[in-house]
């Protein structure tokens, strides 16, 4: 019974293939010579058309059975498992049943091998991602519909991901999610490759590449440090000379000097440095109270109101007068 059931199933499957086989079957059917019929069955079997011929009625099941008993090929039951695909649950189930019975039979017809339509679903996702390499941009979730490409290192905002491994961008395009990492992962991937230290006056730089794609590099500038001055010398100003403060950079040795104005003299009071006498002048000065420099000098008049020659003249005159008077008295 099982054998007939399998044949019946094969017939049913073969009916779905088409009528082209019928023509072949008709030819076989017309040739009813016993030897020729066996050859035809063999030929059909080799071409894989035997089942269809049986299904169309071109070859009777009895004839096939006879041919088999006469030493014909039994590949109908032995070859088909290797040809039977296992890509559909239905055929796998059918094959299992047959195997349990110990006699595996024909595979499902090709119509049943038709690929199952893949249903692509989208689930919500969000976040900013970075492309780790150049990626194609699709305008649908089918990878054949490339419309453009993104450079490596491009930031994309993602709104969804598909069941076939794509990210949907906020612009409605699709990219391969395996070529994207999160922004955080991207930022964590920077590794320093070169550094130029900044100096007091020149900016430095640090160059990085990204572990996610070492071809991608970036360079950050390090601002110039600016000088770091300390006071290394001071010179106080005097009455007449400028003062100065010297600053020196502890890093590069650069120096500059700030000057302060001279203070100027501070005048003190008049001071007599030479006392005047009866007939000689004295001297007085004003000195700077800071540095002692004589700023002004003046003479101080003698204490006698009359100059010495006048006094002498007066004295001589008096003596002369006295002499004249004395001489006149002696003559008398």
Q: Is 130 in the site for Zn ion (CB under 5 A)?
A: no
**125 vs 198, beta carbon nearer Zn ion:** 198
Residues 174-193 that bind Zn ion (CB under 5 A): none
Please, what is the minimum distance in Å from the beta carbon of residue 265 to Zn ion?
A: 4
**125 vs 239, beta carbon nearer Zn ion:** 239
DSSP calls for 271-318: EEEE---SSS-EEEEEEETTT--EEEEEEE--SSSS-HHHHHHHHHHH
Q: Which residue has the tokens 């047959």?
A: 98
Tell me the three state secondary structure of residue 67.
helix
Please, what is the minimum distance in Å from the beta carbon of residue 273 to Zn ion?
A: 17
Among 250, 243, 248, 244, which residue's Cα sits nearest to residue 231? 248
**195 vs 251, beta carbon nearer Zn ion:** 251
Tell me the three state secondary structure of residue 295.
strand
Q: How many CB atoms lie within 10 A of CB 64?
A: 22
**CA Rg, the chain, in Å?**
64
8 A C-beta contact, residue 161 and residue 119: no
Please, what is the minimum distance in Å from the beta carbon of residue 300 to Zn ion?
A: 23
**104 vs 249, beta carbon nearer Zn ion:** 249
Q: Which one of the spans 33-41, 169-177, 195-203, 309-317 is the region binding Zn ion (CB under 5 A)?
A: 195-203
**291 vs 319, beta carbon nearer Zn ion:** 291
Please, what is the minimum distance in Å from the beta carbon of residue 235 to Zn ion?
A: 17
Please, what is the minimum distance in Å from the beta carbon of residue 295 to Zn ion?
A: 8
Residues 281-320 that bind Zn ion (CB under 5 A): 288, 290-291
Q: Is 239 in the site for Zn ion (CB under 5 A)?
A: yes
**183 vs 288, beta carbon nearer Zn ion:** 288
Helix, strand counts (H, E) of the chain? 10, 16
Tell me the three state secondary structure of residue 121.
coil
Residue 310 in tokens: 């006048």
Q: Which one of the spans 51-59, 79-87, 165-173, 220-228 is the region binding Zn ion (CB under 5 A)?
A: 220-228
Main-chain phi, psi angles of 164, to 5 degrees = -105, 25
Question: Which residue is at the shortest CB distance from Zn ion?
Answer: 288
- The span from the CA of 322 to the CA of 331, in Å, is 15
**264 vs 315, beta carbon nearer Zn ion:** 264
Please, what is the minimum distance in Å from the beta carbon of residue 290 to Zn ion?
A: 4
Q: Which one of the spans 74-82, 112-120, 170-178, 222-230 is the region binding Zn ion (CB under 5 A)?
A: 222-230
Q: Edge-to-edge, what's the strand order for the sheet holding 282-288?
A: 267-274, 282-288, 294-300
Please, what is the minimum distance in Å from the beta carbon of residue 245 to Zn ion?
A: 17
8 A C-beta contact, residue 120 and residue 162: yes
- The span from the CA of 329 to the CA of 314, in Å, is 23
Please, what is the minimum distance in Å from the beta carbon of residue 197 to Zn ion?
A: 13
Please, what is the minimum distance in Å from the beta carbon of residue 180 to Zn ion?
A: 46
**DSSP assignment, residue 226?**
-
Residues 241-270 that bind Zn ion (CB under 5 A): 249, 251-252, 254, 265
- Residue 32, judged by CB atoms within 10 A of its CB (0-12, 13-18, 19+), counts as exposed
**286 vs 290, beta carbon nearer Zn ion:** 290
11, 120, 125, 200: which one binds Zn ion (CB under 5 A): 200
- The span from the CA of 39 to the CA of 22, in Å, is 17
Q: What is the binding site for Zn ion (CB under 5 A)?
A: 200, 227, 239, 249, 251-252, 254, 265, 288, 290-291
């Amino acid at each position: 019974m099982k054998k007939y059931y399998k044949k019946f199933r094969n017939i049913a499957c073969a009916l779905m293939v088409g009528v082209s086989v019928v023509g072949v079957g008709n030819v076989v059917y017309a040739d009813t010579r016993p030897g020729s019929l066996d050859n035809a069955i063999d030929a059909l079997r080799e071409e894989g058309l035997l089942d269809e011929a049986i299904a169309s009625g071109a070859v009777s099941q009895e004839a096939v059975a006879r041919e088999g008993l006469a030493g014909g090929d039994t590949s109908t039951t032995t070859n088909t498992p290797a040809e039977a695909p296992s890509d559909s649950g239905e055929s796998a189930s059918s094959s299992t049943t047959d195997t349990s019975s110990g006699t595996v039979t024909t595979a499902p017809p090709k119509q049943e091998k038709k690929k199952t339509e893949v249903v692509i679903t989208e689930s919500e996702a969000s976040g900013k991602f970075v492309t780790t390499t150049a990626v194609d941009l699709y305008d649908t979730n089918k990878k054949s519909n490339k419309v453009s490409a993104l450079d490596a290192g491009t930031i994309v905002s993602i709104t969804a991901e598909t069941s076939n491994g794509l990210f949907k961008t906020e612009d409605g395009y699709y990219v391969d999610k395996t070529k994207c990492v999160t922004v955080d992962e991207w930022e964590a991937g920077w590794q320093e490759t070169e550094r130029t230290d900044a100096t007091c006056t020149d900016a430095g730089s640090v160059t990085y590449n990204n572990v996610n794609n070492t071809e991608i590099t970036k360079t950050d500038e390090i601002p110039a440090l600016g000088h770091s001055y300390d006071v290394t010398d001071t010179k106080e100003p005097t009455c007449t000379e400028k003062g100065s403060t010297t600053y020196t950079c502890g890093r590069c040795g650069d120096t500059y000097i700030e000057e302060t104005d001279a203070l100027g003299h501070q005048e003190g009071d008049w001071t007599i440095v030479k006392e005047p006498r009866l007939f000689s002048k004295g001297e007085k000065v004003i000195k700077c109270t800071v540095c002692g420099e004589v700023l002004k000098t003046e003479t101080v008049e003698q204490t006698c109101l009359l100059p010495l020659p006048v006094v002498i003249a007066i004295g001589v005159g008096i003596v002369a007068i006295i002499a004249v008077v004395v001489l006149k008295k002696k003559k008398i």
